[in-house]
Chain A
């Protein structure tokens, strides 16, 4: 599929070992490999989805959670239209650090970036859970995070939804004119209908 209307840039951030790369691979390749090597710096994945009959190419930057790579990964925040903040529901620390990740994203990314809170590893036994979904939901609300979902990269539960719902939210912002297509917003127009869409979005931006 080479024709698309938009390219939307995502970043995935969160502590080391919460399953960021696994989420990406589950979404792009529909497979799960737990014994994965850790991410050095950033990695990259793409997939096409369709929102509101528009073809959208998601360009997803998967960042390393290691503190030592923070300076590298922050340089990729810029121009992200969507940011997935991932924590591990079985590791309380990873949830407590979300506020730091959130601050980082708010500092380095576009102010209109759609931020989504993702509690990964929901397939784990309830006895291992250290963060309830109510608590996370409350945190999301208090911090102005648009979406919260619990996912499992292992069972693929909610993985598709996370990426698609984020794209829908971004698309809404494009339509409402909150986002315009340029490098800093993380939205670029695809080769298809470039001219017509361009007019459409530019028009929206004026309103």
Chain B
């Protein structure tokens, strides 16, 4: 995993938010956005019908439950196919994560020091309710960085099932203790475990590992080295209620997490977004929450409100017509690596929220090697354009756009190739600034920028032009 990120805030559950602010847009553009938003709402209605009747809070509920209504889409880039893909993580994580990456990298004792308990409690209540759209437009003005770090960790600590689900707890620890010929082989072993986790847990884990690995780069400033970060996050990521009162169990979890952070660039996100299509993967082995049905899991692909242009989609991805893809290496062969049955099958509804007129250049930027990942990340640190600025200042409903992930599962035979890329708005903007000469990539980046980003940047140029 190279780098993730982005904070394209899209709220699927809140139909009040359909007042997309489209100032600066032409009438046809407004129409297009409205049409597109209707599709989002259509998805939402299905969501609401099928979701549980329980209180829609976030704290203390299973991730697979709360992710249904309090999520944010993030985008990442498949480095093999070089196609943007989408993932969902809890809104609170996206919101806090982006702010922390922006403001927290130089703060001594970040994640360790406590904020103000009253303010943390207040933040918790804001993130815990649909009234605020789960805090997506929260303004950080009255909070300090430690409040933010605390509320994010509290969310993780309150998860009934940690980020690494309980039935993987022993497997992760055993994998850590097992001797492998090299760290790379060990990484593969961990990857094969991660691949089997429920999709929402995979996304969250990989997002957090990415976040933490960024923080390891400034540990000389924060005085939070990798082992400190690992021990702070161990209770929320890798813990078990059976061991909850046993300090030594946390000390065993710490090196596991440390390893995962250290090698996070080698881990990959779920294969090319394909699991989105086979949505039962979203609910793969949930231990305690197996009774909870993801609303989308009951949908057949044909029942999804998909109206996308297949021909158009096919034309985007050179690989999408390649039905005879090689099998993944055995280590990665999870029990049900989904293969898209038909190239025209609809994508996950969130991807269905693609801008109708978004046109992508099919020329892909040159593939990145894993070594360039670090360089990119360093760039991130210097890049001051921040996604979180958008999340705190944006007042419009920002919605993510992405190309549907319409190709076969990742057939990466070399797991060391970091195949994710920081394709956030942050990095998108950064790339445009730093590499203005890479003309081939510019239309691509532009195409996945969001409405609100455009507005915020004061760009009056029509969104849909190339």
Mark A residues whose CB is within 8 Å of B: 15-17, 35, 37-38, 40-42, 65-69, 71-72, 75, 91, 93-94, 96-97, 100
Contacts and interface: CB of A to CB of B under 8 A. Distances in A.
A40 B112 contact: no
B115 interface: yes
A42 B247 CA distance: 7
Contact of A67 (B157, B228, B244): B157
A110 B244 CA distance: 24
A182 to B, nearest CB: 23
A155 B247 CA distance: 30
Nearest to B247: A41
Contact of A66 (B115, B146, B232, B248): B232
Given A37-B231, A40-B250, A68-B157, A100 B117 contact: yes
25 contacts: A16-B113, A35-B223, A37-B231, A38-B112, A38-B231, A38-B232, A40-B234, A40-B250, A40-B251, A40-B254, A41-B250, A65-B114, A67-B153, A68-B157, A68-B235, A68-B236, A69-B247, A71-B245, A93-B114, A93-B116, A93-B117, A94-B114, A96-B116, A96-B117, A97-B117
Given A37-B227, A37-B231, A72-B247, 7 more contacts: A37-B228, A41-B251, A69-B250, A75-B245, A93-B114, A93-B117, A100-B117
Given A17-B109, A38-B231, A40-B254, A67 B247 contact: no
Contacts of B116: 93, 96
A137 B235 CA distance: 36
A89 B234 CA distance: 29
Contacts of B228: 37-38
B112 A17 contact: yes
Main secondary structure of the interface of B (DSSP, over half): helix
A164 to B, nearest CB: 28
Contacts of B234: 40
3 pairs of A and B residues whose beta carbons are closest in the complex? A41-B247, A68-B235, A17-B113
Q: Which of B109, B114, B234, B248 has the most CB of A within 10 A?
A: B114
Contacts of B235: 66, 68-69
Contacts of B114: 15-17, 65, 67, 93-94, 97
A94 to B, nearest CB: 7
B186 interface: no
Contacts of A93: 113-117, 146
A35 B108 CA distance: 11
Given A37-B228, A75-B245, A68 B113 contact: no
A203 B250 CA distance: 45
Interface in B194-249: 223, 227-228, 231-232, 234-236, 244-248
B154 interface: yes
A69 B116 CA distance: 18
A72 B244 contact: yes
